[in-house]
Structure 1
């Protein structure tokens, strides 16, 4: 949908976070005479009134009847379209879209393709992959935009003064359907992997998978770059897209620590700044996408050495008193936690897990702890007791130490005490969101850094965000 198509329609915004504010400013600029209503909680109303100077009508009671008064509701990504009020309004004819959909609608060419756009999604690794993609494109001398779920709403870069050659766009499962329903096609779409996540937003595991894969199933990218090692992706058939596989011998893949293109050994990743073997493996996805854009990926591969890792993603904060502190606050699934543990295999690890309970199954994680457990596991958060109960029988067998914490400060102290004078690694990789205790995973990571004795400001910036 193009912004001009909202002219004359009854339009509302839903949510006053950064995405909601971006949508307001764009619509006010493009369609200054368009009346707008904002649905937001009472806690956001004062800030919205102050910033909009009366240009919005505010409503804090979100009901199906209220939403149904509008033709289009531009909602923030964190608001699920599967709630009762939204479902009833949609059945009555209200269309729900996001800022991502408007951005894509504005940038499509006559064939409906957003040229130079590379969308990256997946349950794990998408932020680092998107940032690495932007880094390598810039290393090749191409002006590149890095935006999306990584921390910069697309509507904030709707009309750059100097348009980039390429867009590296991270999309969450909240945003992938936005692209699919925008009427525009990505130039290239990367899907890294699929694990259960965000079940409270999507309502079921199958709906999460369907929404995630809508980027390629319904978005019809010109080229889909897919992980051949993921069985759900391997089963896809995309008749309207060219499929490029990575993580298979015929394409870009890893042999040990060396990236290969088919039979050709290209680059040894052993000493790269990429945290974790899974991220080094995702370099294959990036190189496959760069090649799909028509660039020389083999020549660009060594430029990964100049990459700066992102905060809150297997981030090494530093060492204090013989303990290395690792901030993996972005970890929101048990699979992500297992991948983080694998990065520090063979070391003495005290692991901090737990947070907001989305109903994700931790049984597979518990099974992995039979033979690959850290020295200590500290559970915390709403789902902490559930994880603790799963792990207790193994802890009773002496496989690892197990403690329960009421909050992150107590968890840090328990982990520090468990490692003792021998030292080791304190790994915050919660495997769960931060909702309730913290505003977001960034706030959780900042608090962890502070508790560990590091400056939270120094560890928070995302390198390369925006257009450069």
Structure 2
């Protein structure tokens, strides 16, 4: 962790004036459309390109054209003549032909986060501090926890970024924010070279999206970008050495500190857990001899039931970032109490026949599924979908002892099945050879047949959903609908 660049303010060298510039925006999604509209309002000449040409793209194009944005559908490869800047949506791969054409023409490529960072002081606005959150899993939960804590401290804030709220809209809002809780994906960080956060956290690091990044090293390097230029604190997971290594490699402002979080008792410069309490030994006057109680574990989203271990870790990371910004201890407690988890994240659906049914459809990779499985015992596990190049041996070997049975669905379920055969050969497995949306109801019925009173049936697929469903949310909804139908059937005389 070395002293390096300093953050630049509204009038710094990273400022950007869009008026009169010819900008090409890649992608018609939420971030692309938001960037296009923001740029057009600021006087840029904007062209949006998208390789699709379906009904959704046609509707999006019509809406943008009504706002004075040119749209070119069905061809996302060619660089429009005269382009001075390309702004890409997060999902576009680095090896896309459009970016090769931009590189050949000497045209820079920015992501939506880079654009928002460059525009944050536009028109004399007072730039808000950014507290950034990334990691393989837990980003959204931690970011929303952080926003709740900041709001409890009386700060004007918002949870933004990869969560779905376009950052360009937020940084250009008439009412300025004091501080932003910013969720950042590895895709977004890849295209954000100028970002210099107040403080940032990498929650964990495990193989994911390797088809996009090309290698684990490239994926980790993009995650590590979140620490570069941090001014106050680089928050890392003491149980994940890879996150601490990213801190060591980061080029930061002189005086920026490394702050760890742990589920055990914290050492100096750490936050941790002691006797059911979240405790701070980082942001106290005498951290080698003093500790500050922040909240109880029971204060973490109490309406959702007992906190799973990974959500305790998320709360500690959120608290560390908030404390780095000067938030008082009481606000940590009040914010965590007020926080409500998003849908499809360790969501209890129902209890029927003595069996609890839990929806964690958001567990779209093995690392997330591992955290989910660790929260329950014994478990009937519903898993499968699109593996995204992931391996499952480590996940299955760790979870084998708590599995009552497994129901497999989805296009690449055989990969999980093979890992079960190697590491949990005695666990009963139901392999549903179907990928239609009705398969979820069959999976729930099969899981109910394997479960015993006191068990948990857990949807934690460890895979993406697009082989069967529009997104993980629709997959989770299908699970919940099937569980409710099962419960209604059991209540029928």
TM bin, normalised by shorter chain, reads 0.7 to 0.9
Residues 226 and 243 in structure 1, CA contact (< 8 A), matched pair in contact too: no
Instruction: Go from structure 1 to structure 2 and tell me whether the alpha carbon gap of 1:37 and 1:20 turns closer, same or farther (over 3 Å shift).
Output: closer
Residue 283 of structure 1: which of 306, 315, 320 is its match?
315
- Match of 2:358, SS state, is strand
What is aligned with 1:245?
259
Q: Hey, what does 2:180 align to over in structure 1?
A: 167
For the residue of structure 2 that corresponds to 1:175, the secondary structure is helix
Indicate which of 63, 76, 79 corresponds to 1:62: 76
Q: Does the C-alpha gap of structure 1 residues 115 and 205 become closer, same or farther in structure 2, counting only changes over 3 Å?
A: same
Q: Is the 8 A contact 1:188 1:292 kept in 2?
A: yes
Indicate whether 1:444 and 2:475 are aligned. yes
1:326–1:427 contact (8 Å) kept in structure 2: yes
Whether the 8 Å CA contact 1:108–1:184 is kept in 2: the answer is no
3-state SS, counterpart of residue 82 of structure 1: coil
Q: What per-residue deviation string (whole Å, max 9, x for no partner) do you get for residues 55-106 of structure 1?
A: 414142233x546863322111111123355345424423221221111112
Deviates more, 1:207-216 or 1:302-311: 302-311
> Hey, what does 2:342 align to over in structure 1?
310
Matched, 1:360 2:390: yes
Partner residue of 1:466? none
- Do the aligned partners of residues 37 and 338 (structure 1) sit closer, same or farther apart at CA in structure 2, a change above 3 Å counting? closer
Per-residue displacement from partner, 1:210-266 (whole Å, max 9, x unpaired)? 11111114x545432222222112223235241231224222112464322236372
1 CA distance for matches of 2:433 and 2:120? 48
Write the mapping of 1:27-38 to structure 2, written as runs, cut at 5 A: 27-31=39-43, 34-38=45-49
Q: Bigger shift: 131-140 or 37-46?
A: 37-46
Asked if 1 retains the 8 angstrom alpha-carbon contact of 2:405 and 2:428, the reply is: yes
Which of 278, 292, 300 aligns to 1:259? It is 278
Tell me how many residue pairs correspond in the alignment: 444
The question of 1:208 aligning with 2:235 is answered no
Match of 2:235 in 1: 225
Which of 140, 146, 151 is the aligned partner of 1:138?
151
What is the rounded CA distance, in whole Å, between the counterparts of 1:299 and 1:16 in structure 2? Answer: 39
Specify every segment of 5 or more residues in structure 1 that has no aligned partner in the other structure, as ranges. Answer: 455-468
Tell me by how many angstroms 1:119 deviates.
Answer: 0.8
Structure 1 residue 20, shift from structure 2 partner: 1.6
The answer to whether the 8 Å contact 1:189/1:221 transfers is no
Distance 2:484 2:241 in 1: 42
Aligned with residue 386 of structure 1, among 394, 412, 415: 415
Counterparts of 2:299 and 2:114 in 1: how far apart (Å)?
39
**1:86/1:378 CA distance change after superposition, 3 Å:** farther
Deviation of the 1:8 alpha carbon: 4.3
Q: CA deviation at 1:404?
A: 3.4
Q: Does 1:117 align with 2:145?
A: no
**Following the alignment from structure 1 to structure 2, what is the Cα–Cα distance between the partners of residues 360 and 154?**
30
Q: Cα distance 1:170–1:201, how it changes in 2: closer, same or farther (>3 A)?
A: same
Cα 1:400–1:67 shift into 2, 3 Å: farther
Cα pair 2:199 2:230 within 8 Å, conserved: no
Task: Return closer, same or farther for 1:88/1:368 CA change in 2, 3 Å cut-off.
Answer: farther
Following superposition, the deviation at residue 393 of structure 1 comes to 4.0
In the alignment, structure 1 residue 272 sits paired with structure 2 residue 284: no
How far apart are residue 137 of structure 1 and its match?
1.3
What SS does structure 1 have at the residue aligned with 2:403?
coil
Quick check: 1:352–1:411 contact (8 Å CA) kept in 2? no
Which SS does the other structure have where 1:174 is aligned?
helix
Aligned-residue offset at 1:184:
4.2
Cα separation, partners in 2 of 1:379 and 1:310, compared to 1, 3 Å: same
Q: Which secondary structure does the structure 1 equivalent of 2:443 belong to?
A: helix
d(CA) in 1 for partners of 2:211, 2:51: 20
Q: Whole-Å Cα distance in 1 between the matches of residues 474 and 151 of structure 2?
A: 29
CA contact (8 A) 1:68 1:94 kept: no
Question: In structure 1, how many angstroms separate the alpha carbons of the residues matched to 2:103 and 2:403?
Answer: 48
* Contact 2:465–2:471 under 8 Å retained in 1: yes
Evaluate the alpha carbon distance shift between residue 324 and residue 156 of structure 1 in structure 2; reply closer, same or farther with a 3 A threshold: farther
Paired residues of 1:380 and 1:406 also in contact (CA < 8 A): yes
| Corresponding position of 1:42 | 53
TM-score by length of 1: 0.86
Equivalent pair of 1:149/1:172 in contact (CA under 8 Å): yes
Q: Is the 8 A contact 1:329 1:442 kept in 2?
A: yes
Per-residue CA deviation, residues 189-224 of structure 1 (Å, 9 max, x unaligned), is: 11111111111221221111111111114x545432
Q: State the 1:121 CA deviation.
A: 0.7
CA shift at 1:429, angstroms?
Answer: 1.0
